[in-house]
Structure 1
């Protein structure tokens, strides 16, 4: 059972030090129940802007607001004590200028209590990463398949499959590392490219649809629990069919209510306490 031996929250420097020592375990969360359940087992929780699609059923991540991300991140931070928590910065909150990015990222750290932020983008955003890091904000850089660039990429498609595309992503990753990013999130990359980036990077890489050679892995929690619904990316491994458990519980509850079997007297106030039920029936002793 892979529970943590530590009893304090993993810091960004400690996460960085894990490169080459052991694999980093990460999942996404945006609510108290999920965060509490995974906290003993994961090193890193990413409060992803995938919240827009998973929690709200929106078509993309693009219209998630800073206020919504702060609220979800605060819920995760307040209900964990071990995992390092990284918050996605939503679309439009950091691209305009380094100064705007700093104001919004500083708000995120101060109001949510998270440990770091994650930004999507190529080498054009390296200057913003440097600006933030120099002012005390740890940054995880997200390259490859970037959901906030959905309209430019023409959909959720694997990246780095050609030599030219791979070279561009390598340049993006290198620029972010040079700017001071403490980690790279590699999404939807050709496996050889993700493996090469990991080998070349002095900072840990977290893969999602990238390579087993990455320093760590992350999945959208609802996908790996069978709660995602619809088409799943090929890189998702489903570890449980929690949707079936929920459907069964809701169906049994609905049947009980309609048949008058719930609530019972023991679920009500102001009535005599029901006699204890002896669940272990033993045969009477012979006289």
Structure 2
């Protein structure tokens, strides 16, 4: 069990205190129903900008907007009671300056009630993270493969393959920690490198396509339950096949409608005299 605030929620400080302890269980959530279902089982729910891809059909996370993140953040907050809810800051909402980052973070927290925000980037984003933290808003960092930078980076390339890349990742981790983040995601990074970053960091690391040695793990919920209809990343383990379940339910429904066997008597409303007879 983790410490929680007066409202019963796990706090960012409680997540920070998990460093080196029981692994931190994280999943993304974008909707009220999924938040309700996931909340009892996880420590942290991330309203990820991956919502732009898995819920709205954009080719990358660059399709996420502030309005989109706030709308989904509000839904997840309504559906959860105990998990620490973190909302991603979308591309273009924080990179310009610490002042822009702080204004965006304040808006997200004010309009959703979430416990923290997350932004991508290491050493280059240290001033932004520090400004948000100094204003009293907890920040989750994100280093390694940065989905918001895939166009600039030329695609989804695994990080940490050279000595220079490893040094840059270590510097990014140090910068995020120095700026005051309570934890950070390591994405798409060579296993030994992610493990070394975790060993050196004084705050929890959360892996996705990284290492089992990270202090926690996160997956996109649509990937984890088999709802992803396009490419499923290598690092994903599908714990269910909801694609098949949904497709079969739709097939069964369509067959019954065409056969006029649905709706049946139990699904329609009849006058009282008809029911009595």
Shorter-chain TM-score tier = over 0.9
Is 1:249 matched up with 2:237? no
CA distance in structure 1 between the aligned counterparts of 2:59 and 2:119, rounded to whole angstroms: 20
The CA deviation at 1:20 is 1.8
Post-superposition Cα deviations, 1:137-194, rounded to whole Å, max 9, x if no partner, equal: 1111100000001112111111111111111111111011111111110000011110
Aligned length: 273
Write out the 4+ residue segments of structure 1 that deviate beyond 2 Å after TM superposition.
3-7, 270-275
SS of structure 2 residue aligned to 1:56: coil
Compared with structure 1, are the counterparts of its residues 271 and 207 closer, same or farther at alpha carbon in structure 2 (3 Å cutoff)?
same
Query: Residue 213 of structure 1 aligns with which residue?
Result: 213
Q: Map 1:111-190 to 2 at 5 A.
A: 111-190=111-190
Post-superposition Cα deviations, 1:174-233, rounded to whole Å, max 9, x if no partner, equal: 011111111110000011110011111110000000000000000011111111123211
Compared with structure 1, are the counterparts of its residues 132 and 5 closer, same or farther at alpha carbon in structure 2 (3 Å cutoff)?
closer
Query: Residue 74 of structure 1 aligns with which residue?
Result: 74
CA distance in structure 1 between the aligned counterparts of 2:267 and 2:229, rounded to whole angstroms: 34
Query: Residue 33 of structure 1 aligns with which residue?
Result: 33
Query: Residue 87 of structure 2 aligns with which residue?
Result: 87
CA distance in structure 1 between the aligned counterparts of 2:189 and 2:249, rounded to whole angstroms: 39
Comparing both structures, which one devotes a greater share of its residues to helix? 2
- Two-structure CA RMSD over aligned residues (Å): 1.7
The CA deviation at 1:4 is 8.9
Unpaired stretches in structure 1, ≥5 consecutive residues: 276-287
CA distance in structure 2 between the aligned counterparts of 1:201 and 1:213, rounded to whole angstroms: 12
CA distance in structure 1 between the aligned counterparts of 2:271 and 2:240, rounded to whole angstroms: 40
**TM-score relative to the length of structure 1:** 0.92
Unpaired stretches in structure 2, ≥5 consecutive residues: none
Q: Map 1:4-43 to 2 at 5 A.
A: 8-43=8-43
Decide which structure has the larger Cα Rg and report it. Answer: 1
Post-superposition Cα deviations, 1:52-83, rounded to whole Å, max 9, x if no partner, equal: 00001111111211011000011001110011
SS of structure 2 residue aligned to 1:142: strand
CA contact (8 A) 1:4 1:41 kept: no
CA contact (8 A) 1:265 1:274 kept: no
The CA deviation at 1:5 is 11
CA contact (8 A) 1:133 1:181 kept: yes
SS of structure 2 residue aligned to 1:120: coil
Query: Residue 261 of structure 2 aligns with which residue?
Result: 261
